Amino acid sequence: MSARAAIVDWARACYEDLRFSEARRWLEGGKGRKACGHLPVYAPRELVHASGMLPVGIYGGGDMLEIIRGDAFYQSYICHLPRSVVELAQSGRLDFLSGVLFPSTCDVIRNLSGMWKVLYPGLYVRYLDLPQVPDPGLATRFWKKELQTLVHDLGEVSGAPADEATLRASLGVFNEMRQLIRELYRARREAPWRVPSEELYLLLRAGEVVPVEAWLEKTRGYLKAAERDAAPIKDRSRVVVVGAFCEQPPLGLIKTIERAGCYIVDDDFLLGNRLLSREVPLAGDPLTNLAEALVRHAVKTSVLYEPNPEGKKALMKERVEAAGADGIIFAAASFCDPALLDRPMLRAGAEAHGIPCIAFKYAENSGQFQQFREQAGTFADAIKLWGGISA
Amino acid sequence: MKCFVGIDLGSTTTKAVVLGERSEILGRGITNSRSNYDLAAQVAREEAFITTRFALLRQQVEQAAGQQVLTRLLRAFRLSQTLTQLTRLSALILKEIERSVPAALRDAAREKVLGIVATIEQEEKARFEDPDPPARSDFFRDAAGSAYMRLAEERGEPSGVSFDRLVGLYDKCIIGVENEPLELGFRHHIGSALELAGNSPAVRAGVEAAVSAELEVVRSVGTGYGRARLPFPKEQIRSEILCHGLGAHRMFPGTRTVLDIGGQDTKAIQVDEHGIVTSFQMNDRCAAGCGRYLGYIADEMNIGLHELGPLAEKSTRSVKINSTCTVFAGAELRERLSLGERREDILDGLHRAIILRAMSLLARSGGIQDQFTFTGGVARNSAATRALRRLVEENYGEKTINISADSIYTGALGAALFAHREAMA
Amino acid sequence: MSEVQKDRSMVIQKDMIAEHYRQLEAAPETGDPVVYTFVPGNLTELIRSFGALPVLPEINALQSGMRGKSRDYILEAERSGHSEDVCTYVKCDIGMLQSGNIGPTGTRLPKPDLLLLSYTGCYTFMKWFELLREQYDCPTVFLQIPYQGDGTLAPEHRQYVVDQLKAEVIPALEKATGRKYDEERVRHYLSLSAQAEEDLVAVLHSAKRKPSPIDAYFGAVYYVGPIFSAFRGTEEGVAYYRELRKEVEERVARGEGPVTPSGTLNDQKYRLVVEGPPNWTSFREFWQMFTDEQAVVVASTYSKVGGVYDFGFRHDPKDPLGTMADYCGGCYTNLNLPSRIDMLASYIKDYAADGFLIHSIKSCNSFSAGQLMMLREVERRTGLPGAFIESDLVDPRYFSAANIRNRLESYLQMIEARRQGRPA
């Protein structure tokens, strides 16, 4: 087996492993090691890392977990993610976590933080209100204070509070991670036949649950191998997938979109892992820098307020141009407020610029992909027949 | 004799239970629900009274003439009912022929229909003579209906009186047969039965006692869907949740958790040691995973509902079905078949999915306490009960699971018990 | 249905609302500035101090629901691309806009001069005003109220709100209205608010009595209307609450229950606490299901969505900006789940309830996510069973009277059976 295939296999194993074995192994590998989980979309993992703990992204059970207990907590008109998250927790699969962070993604995740407090009273739980105000000064001051509180709390949990040095080091490491992710995305954008979306996705999922240092090594290896790949170029339409930033689509759906005739050249899967679009400066006060990085340089997303009235109208055009794409697939989880409420505005903006679009909903445990295959296939063909952006 | 009646108007079937003074079960009746709830209630009650009277004559006839005679008498009674209904169906169809069949075809239509009815009559009589007939549904519509379809297919002529026309006539008139109050009661049919099944003084005496017994209904209680339209005053209507809990408790005094999967809703009920409901959860906004869903699946597969379970049990590989949405049932099934999945495996996964939904509801209502009783139409499905046993054991450990063949009467039984308790209080 | 009796306070309130909509209709001529905002975290005193008129799209939506207009509006919004899964208030509002923006009382609604996006207790608010901003092309000011994740409003969060008021909200209001911030005026309005709050709380607390002179859910929708919308901090508001309190005290003296769709409910068989918003499209019908069973609601959490006053908070004129921060932070949907559970449990105890009911709304995640756990927790803590009923705010397709009645009646019969120690 090639080195590259071995890396993909490793990533796949991480993705499929709902017991988080790699994380558990890391914990056992040292005295007093702890782990702290977080829900989508964005959490400042650097701070967890700087406190000596392993940050673990919790993305539910996808289509790999049968929900027995989780459904007792949620009505049918709420998205699937919190059910599988609760299922993971109630079945003991998350028992290695010493804390969980809940960012302000939407009201479901918000309320889940409160449920966690009731269900696991001994655990550290913190809700993170991301800064939303347009004024960067106000927002930075607010967010920095939040980060300070978080650092303090995480220090109590881990017993090894972060200091300026460790903070700076962690910022550096996660800068590297984000940079490598951007490299992966660039490689795929430039030559998607070399970097299948399935492989990219598996690597990113692995990055959520393993120590970042290990991930960097494996991913660098993958990228080197991929860039040398002589895979055949296929005549596929280039699409951007928008809206799948929280509850993740099943892997089968991602594969289906590509198999149906598309290259996914940009997406917002696991957006949190690259929400900061620029390097966080290492000189100066780490928390101020990290706070500013989010306030000033966050990628546009449905979970953050858009202060510019023209922002949503232009966003899809910017995304499509940056990716050299032909069209957009709006893919949202059923009942997902952020994605579905934004969609009419984003889509109107796209269509005003003549960008072809299709839209559908999925659930993390969608079992049949027939309708997606048909839609994506027809879309890919239409783009080839009638061209991409026409305005 | 004093008796107490409970009536449960379900979405698919209406049930009635008659209790005696010591709250012993005297009789039970069941019929297809229909748009006229009053009539459904009446028919169910009449059926219950019939079985009550049979209960009355049972002991005497059995003692006097033996089990076999009793059985033959009962079957003769049913035959008499069936023949009466066939005559009625025939009359209605003949009228309909006059009304709606083109003149040129009328004679041929009449001849065919009368021929079909005559054949069904013969078949019914032959079935009566058969000592061990194959099992089938008790409802006239089902038995006569499938016979009529079969014969119409054999005898329909595409160029003349076609299969479609014959079936159309049946469809128009069957409702008329069902919606008629039973004019001829117990006395008439038992008389015919006596003629058919043979007569001895002891048997006749037992029958006479049963026929002439006066059944005085002291109190009635109604429940079920559409119960607000029952011809009872408000004080005599009880929630189907409470009736169900009490009925299950009566059947299984040790039960503390009851699951009912009906035609279009699912109920999870916790009861205490007196049969009083302490908590419940309902899933009635959407029929996913209920009886109706299984009906759609059976239709899609072109098999009978009762065949689903046995087929699913032949599965050797589990297929994960994620949605039990009735709207997509057909599409999901077709896609999986086209992907090469076997029917048995799909069905197995499907039954598991249904039970998973029920498990969530149970968890919401407070979990599964020993003993656990499973009722409703779906409880008669062997694949469903198998999936349930598995999931209960996996998640709650070993629990006693009660599944009774009579569980469809649970609600009506509970209603009758309410009637009894309130009257005797 | 026969002519429904109305209290004098209900009549006053109807007039207040009608007058307010008339003023709104006249705004383009009078030049009164118009500010759109939300019920949770509404800064009516501040808005009015600038001579502006507040518009609350949520109230427009629920009024449309009560008047049978919401179905068509929602369909209109869905036709133009809005998902069936999202908040029906938003869709009703968008649909109303797309249908000519005629408000629920039949008068045209004025365009906003400012969208005051008070981001309090609900994520959807953010999207709602992003959508409206596209339609109206007007200035928007964003006020972020931090969620009480740990059960309190931390001092730095309070300060953050005060800073935003100073740096963003007040300047935006000054710009939109052409007037300067008048702190004295604000203080004056705040003192009027406090008076009204005092009377409102007396009314809410009256439900501790037996029989309760009020229905604290359906009836309370009328009681909290003025204070949640355009009338907190106004003389009319003070007068209304004084009148309301008097009315309630008179009912107490006569030993009377509330006026309901089934008449005056004196013989109250069941005292219930309710969590969750009501259904608006079948409001009366839903209420009547309770009163037909002689059930009265003695406390509700929905009546705190625009402000929690019955645990001691009053607007404090001495600290205008700080008190507004406290007010916003304390609105019900901004409280964390454990606090909501505490509130329900304390209501059940303090108001001597026989049971509680959770009304879960399909399109509202803020209220609904977590309610099943709340149900079990409150049952566990109080030993009382809870009922769980589902429908929606203003989409009539999700209100099934038969199902709801079934669940409610079953629940009440269960309570009755437990009370008597044997089946009823």
- Ordered DSSP codes for C309-325: -TTS----TTSHHHHHH
- Closest residue of chain C to B420, computed from CA coordinates: C423
CA end-to-end span of chain C, whole Å? 30
Q: Residue type for C404, please? A: I
Q: Please, are residues A206 and A215 in contact by the beta-carbon 8 Å criterion?
A: yes
CATH number, domain A3-167, options 3.40.250.10, 3.40.50.11890, 2.120.10.30, 3.40.50.1950: 3.40.50.11890
Tokens 């239509």 appear where? B109
* pLDDT at position C14: 84
**Residues C309 and C334 reside in one and the same domain:** yes
Distance CA(C230)–CA(C224), nearest Å, equals 11
* pLDDT at position C2: 37
Single pTM value for the model: 0.91
**Under CATH, which number does the domain A235-391 receive?**
3.40.50.11900
- Nearest of B85, B269, B112, B65 to residue B175 by alpha carbon: B85
Radius of gyration of chain A (CA): 20
**Residues B266 and B399 reside in one and the same domain:** yes
Q: For residue range C162-194, what is the model confidence (pLDDT) as tens digits?
A: 999 999 999 999 999 999 999 999 999 999 999
**Residues C244 and C342 reside in one and the same domain:** yes
**Residues C171 and C255 reside in one and the same domain:** no
Distance CA(C156)–CA(A181), nearest Å, equals 35
Distance CA(B240)–CA(B264), nearest Å, equals 14
Which of A68, A364, A374 to mutate against chain B (most B CBs within 10 Å)?
Answer: A68
Q: Residue type for C217, please? A: Y
Task: Give a yes or no: residue C3 inside a domain.
Answer: no
In the structure, what pLDDT confidence band is assigned to residue B34 with cuts at 50, 70 and 90? confident
Task: Give a yes or no: residue B26 inside a domain.
Answer: no
Q: Which of C182, C199, C217 is the last residue of a domain?
A: C182
* pLDDT at position B417: 96
C385 to B282: CB separation less than 8 angstroms, yes or no = no
Which of C97, C126, C372 to mutate against chain A (most A CBs within 10 Å)?
Answer: C126
ipTM of the complex: 0.96
- Tell me the CA distances in angstroms from B144 to A230, B81, B138, B149, B247, one per residue in order: 71, 12, 10, 9, 32
User: If you average pLDDT over residues A211-224, what whole number do you get?
Assistant: 97
Q: Which two tokens stand for residue B295?
A: 């009906």
Task: Give a yes or no: residue C229 inside a domain.
Answer: yes
User: If you average pLDDT over residues C367-374, what whole number do you get?
Assistant: 97
Q: Which two tokens stand for residue A358?
A: 């299709």
**Per-residue DSSP letter, C276:** S
Instruction: Give the total number of structural domains in chain C.
Output: 2
Chains that touch C (3 or more CB pairs under 8 A): A, B
Task: Give a yes or no: residue B40 inside a domain.
Answer: no
Domain around C74 = 8-182
The 10 Å Cβ neighbour count of residue C131 is: 21
Q: Which residues face B223 on adjacent strands?
A: B8
Q: Please, are residues C408 and C293 in contact by the beta-carbon 8 Å criterion?
A: yes
Task: Give a yes or no: residue C39 inside a domain.
Answer: yes
Topology agreement, domain A3-167 and domain A235-391? yes
**Residues C216 and C288 reside in one and the same domain:** yes
Q: Please, are residues B354 and B376 in contact by the beta-carbon 8 Å criterion?
A: no
Task: Give a yes or no: residue B260 inside a domain.
Answer: yes
Q: Which of C147, C165, C182 is the last residue of a domain?
A: C182
**Residues B173 and B310 reside in one and the same domain:** no
Q: What are phi and psi of A103, to 5 degrees?
A: -80, 160
Distance CA(B36)–CA(B170), nearest Å, equals 20
Distance CA(B264)–CA(B289), nearest Å, equals 8
Domain around B316 = 253-403
Query: Alpha helices, DSSP H only, in C150-234?
Result: 155-164, 170-177, 183-205, 218-228
User: If you average pLDDT over residues B10-29, what whole number do you get?
Assistant: 90
**Does pLDDT of C326 surpass 90?**
yes
Task: Give a yes or no: residue B197 inside a domain.
Answer: no
- Positions of E strands within chain A: 34-38, 53-57, 97-103, 124-128, 237-242, 262-267, 327-333, 357-362
Q: For residue range B58-73, what is the model confidence (pLDDT) as tens digits?
A: 777 777 777 888 788 8
A341 to C372: CB separation less than 8 angstroms, yes or no = no
**Residues C190 and C314 reside in one and the same domain:** yes
Task: Give a yes or no: residue B172 inside a domain.
Answer: yes
In the structure, what pLDDT confidence band is assigned to residue A389 with cuts at 50, 70 and 90? low
- Residue C142: which of A127, A133, A336 has the nearest Cβ? A133
A77 to C362: CB separation less than 8 angstroms, yes or no = yes
Distance CA(A105)–CA(C129), nearest Å, equals 17
The 10 Å Cβ neighbour count of residue B422 is: 17
Q: Please, are residues C321 and C205 in contact by the beta-carbon 8 Å criterion?
A: no
Distance CA(A60)–CA(A80), nearest Å, equals 9
- Nearest of C210, C186, C230 to residue C49 by alpha carbon: C186
Residues 320-359 of B with CB under 8 A from A: 320-323, 331-332, 335-336, 356-357, 359
Distance CA(B325)–CA(B19), nearest Å, equals 39
Task: Give a yes or no: residue B67 inside a domain.
Answer: no
**Residues C351 and C261 reside in one and the same domain:** yes
C413 to B284: CB separation less than 8 angstroms, yes or no = no
Distance CA(C89)–CA(B57), nearest Å, equals 65
Q: Which residues face B8 on adjacent strands?
A: B15, B223
**Residues C130 and C210 reside in one and the same domain:** no
**Residues C194 and C177 reside in one and the same domain:** no
Cα–chain center distance at C151: 21
Task: Give a yes or no: residue B9 inside a domain.
Answer: no
The domain limits of chain A are 3-167, 235-391
Distance CA(B292)–CA(B352), nearest Å, equals 16
- Provide the CATH number for the domain around residue C125: 3.40.50.11890
Which of C379, C414, C416, C420 to mutate against chain B (most B CBs within 10 Å)?
Answer: C414
Give the distance from residue A68's alpha carbon to the nearest chain B alpha carbon, in angstroms: 6
* pLDDT at position B340: 86
In the structure, what pLDDT confidence band is assigned to residue C240 with cuts at 50, 70 and 90? very high
- Residue A345: which of C131, C149, C163 has the nearest Cβ? C131
- Tell me the CA distances in angstroms from C408 to C242, C404, C423, one per residue in order: 34, 6, 17
Task: Give a yes or no: residue B298 inside a domain.
Answer: yes
**Residues C163 and C246 reside in one and the same domain:** no
* CB neighbour list of residue A122: distance below 8 Å, 6 or more residues apart: none
User: If you average pLDDT over residues A207-219, what whole number do you get?
Assistant: 97
**Residues C132 and C219 reside in one and the same domain:** no
Distance CA(B404)–CA(C419), nearest Å, equals 31
Q: Which two tokens stand for residue B164?
A: 């479609």
The phi-psi region of residue A71 (left if phi > 0; otherwise alpha if psi is between -120 and 50; otherwise beta) is alpha
Give the distance from residue B411's alpha carbon to the nearest chain C alpha carbon, in angstroms: 13
The 10 Å Cβ neighbour count of residue B327 is: 13
Task: Give a yes or no: residue C226 inside a domain.
Answer: yes
User: What residues of chain A lie within 8 A of the CB of B330, using their CB?
Assistant: none
Q: Which of C143, C166, C182 is the last residue of a domain?
A: C182
**Residues C164 and C230 reside in one and the same domain:** no
**Residues B313 and B399 reside in one and the same domain:** yes
Task: Give a yes or no: residue C277 inside a domain.
Answer: yes
3-class secondary structure, C349: helix
**Residues C278 and C161 reside in one and the same domain:** no
Q: For residue range B102-152, what is the model confidence (pLDDT) as tens digits?
A: 999 999 999 999 999 999 999 999 988 888 888 776 677 778 888 898 899
Tell me whether strands B257-261 and B372-375 are parallel, antiparallel or unpaired: parallel
**Residues B155 and B288 reside in one and the same domain:** no
Instruction: Give the total number of structural domains in chain B.
Output: 2
* pLDDT at position B265: 85
